[in-house]
Structure 1
Amino acid sequence: MSERHAILVDPADKRERVDRLLVKNLPTLSRSRLQGLITTGQLSVDGKTIDNPAFRVKPGQKLLLEVPPAVAAEPEAQQIDLDIVFEDPYLIVIDKPAGMVVHPAPGNLDGTLVNALIGHCGESLKGIGGVRRPGIVHRLDKDTSGLIVAAKTEAVHQALTELFAARDIERAYQAVIWGAPSPAKGEIEGNIGRSPRNRKKMAVVRRGGKSALTRYQTLKSYAQGAVSLIECRLMTGRTHQIRVHLTEKGHPLVGDPVYGRVSDAKLQRLPPDARLAFRDFRRQALHARILGFKHPITGKTLKFESKLPPDIKELISSLEPV
């Protein structure tokens, strides 16, 4: 279980950096560990999430820090079936199913893509790009399905990381959303950071955060615009970017338990036969359909496509007349 530490700011600590204050009050935790906890949204001040270690405190403020249980230093190999789309001595492309976590974290210590990759590629993968996330260059949320690439050598990991940083990667997602965007094709821009109201959520924020840009186009609308199938292309790669941007625009993803909870009003706009399917859909209807990049070693342009998984296909089929 997580540990919780509550600290009341003393007048003597006025204007102190919050990370330094935590070091003073929690000597068993290193400053780097505390900074990591802060940046991942584990700290609240008077109930508001703070993700900046340089935040200056005021006397009387109440700090609440949640420290998740420790994760094993090195993930272990596990024999887990993988849907391998492409593999060579340098990298591997996987079609990840919904429900699989990418790397171990509190609450999901095994059964992850990283465990499966080590099991498939062998011990040589360990340490590539970092001990806890070997080979991982980018990530998909647990309940987002689709294409993900991992590096099998340190040089390729660095090269792919640079491609992602330079936005020289083609990434297209398909999503089922509530409503019909207007215009049908466009851009959504807005900095993304931790929600000040809920540390477990991301949000478009007015101050701070990281710049984010999503381009979208509507592929088809159903039930007089009650639901739409859209394609999104990421110009940046922020946490929950598509989910947050579409929610900000008023069109959350169907099935999203964090940003798009279903309502009776939304369901009533659907054909009767579709209501049950949409009400019971238990994950965000988001699929990483296209992944394209230049191979760091061979120089060949690679492009992979993944079909919509059966659960999203069935969701869409419930809206289409037989």
Structure 2
Amino acid sequence: MTQSDTLITLEIPRHLNDVRVDSAVATLLNEKMPEMRDFSRSLITRHLKEGRILCNGKAVPPRFLVATHDVITFQAGIFEEPNISGPIPSQNLALKVLFENDDFLVLDKGAGVQMHMAGGEPRPTVASWIVERYPALAQVGENPLRPGIVHRLDRDTSGVLVVAKTNEAFSALKHSFQERSVSKKYVALVYGHLKELSGSVDALLMREPGELRRRAVDPHRFSGTLPGNARTAYTRVPRF
């Protein structure tokens, strides 16, 4: 286990009872782990939303109110600042340019390729590949660790990525994804048998409590939390 994989456990003290969890985590980092106190509240908020910071083993929204003796856990590596501008060789990364103009790139990402560093040992990522080949894109977007990246694919998912080459294109593409005017199609291998040739799944989707990388659909189990709407239309293709 590397230092980045170390599980940090912090208990909520009495003076932080009934405080928002994002504020409580910021205070605890300042009090207990001064080497991490310079991280912004927005970074803590993002880690909470993405399930990297847990309260009593479960993902909770940033506005969740903690109680005395609640336990906050996270991996130390989530607060490490990866250096994507450094020499991380990425010539063998499964990425291919499908289209390019002055405004954006269209990339074909292979399965197993990580979008960007999220703590841990330095490794080639889509972000490091972009900066290596298009250094100017380090100034595009809202986060230099995600140069020009307006959407993402999971590490084990292959598919098409659109990367902005200018801040104007970044804003326009981001707006399109936020407004859901972009159509997304996936091909998935499903275990079992679908009775219907086509249909839709309209359920609640959120991160599995206690799991950093797994999402699940279960409206009863997640009652009282903050799930997101996930509406997916599907068409069955040949069985194997």
Q: TM range, normalised to the smaller chain?
A: 0.7 to 0.9
Q: CA deviation at 1:133?
A: 0.5
The match for 1:6 among 1, 9, 27 is 9
Name the TM-score, length of structure 1 as normaliser.
Answer: 0.61
Which residue does 2:188 correspond to in 1? 175
**1:34-66 deviations in whole A, cap 9, x for unaligned?**
3333223233333x3133222112233333333
1 or 2, which has the higher strand percentage?
A: 1
Change (3 A) 1:192 1:174: same
Distance in structure 2 (CA, Å) of the matches to 1:79 and 1:4: 29
Give the counterpart of 1:91 among 98, 104, 116. Answer: 104
- For the pair shown, the structure with the greater C-alpha radius of gyration is 1
Q: Name the counterpart of 1:274.
A: none
SS in 2 for 1:203: strand
Residue 226 of structure 2 is matched in structure 1 by 208
CA–CA distance in structure 2, aligned partners of residues 152 and 208 of structure 1: 34
The separation in 1 between residues aligned to 2:145 and 2:18, in whole angstroms, is 35
What number of residue pairs does the alignment pair up? 220
Paired position in structure 2 for 1:105:
118
Change (3 A) 1:221 1:107: same
Cα deviation per residue 1:288-312 (whole Å; 9 max; x = unaligned)? xxxxxxxxxxxxxxxxxxxxxxxxx
Deviations 1:161-196 (A, max 9, x none): 111122222321111111122322111122222212
Alignment of 1:80 with 2:91, yes or no, is: yes
In structure 1, the gaps of 5 or more residues are 223-322
Describe how 1:1-322 pairs up with structure 2 within 5 A: 1-2=3-4, 3-27=6-30, 28=34, 29=37, 30=39, 32=41, 33-46=43-56, 48-68=57-77, 70-72=80-82, 74-76=84-86, 78=89, 80=91, 82-107=95-120, 109-121=122-134, 123-129=135-141, 130-204=143-217, 205-206=222-223, 207-222=225-240
1:19–1:31 contact (8 Å) kept in structure 2: no
What is the letter of the counterpart of residue 97 of structure 1?
G
**Structure 2: which 5+ runs fail to align?**
none
Residue 12 of structure 1, CA deviation: 4.4
Q: Which amino acid aligns with 2:230?
A: A
Partner SS for 2:54: strand
TM-score by length of 2: 0.80
Cα shift at 1:154:
0.9
Secondary structure at the counterpart of residue 219 of structure 1 = coil
How far apart in 2 are the matches of 1:150 and 1:16?
39
Q: Distance in 2 between matches of 1:196 and 1:169?
A: 29
Higher relative contact order by CA 8 Å / sep ≥ 6: 1 or 2?
A: 2
Alignment partner of 2:99: what SS? strand
The alignment yields a C-alpha RMSD, in angstroms, of 2.4
Helix, strand or coil: the match of 1:37? helix
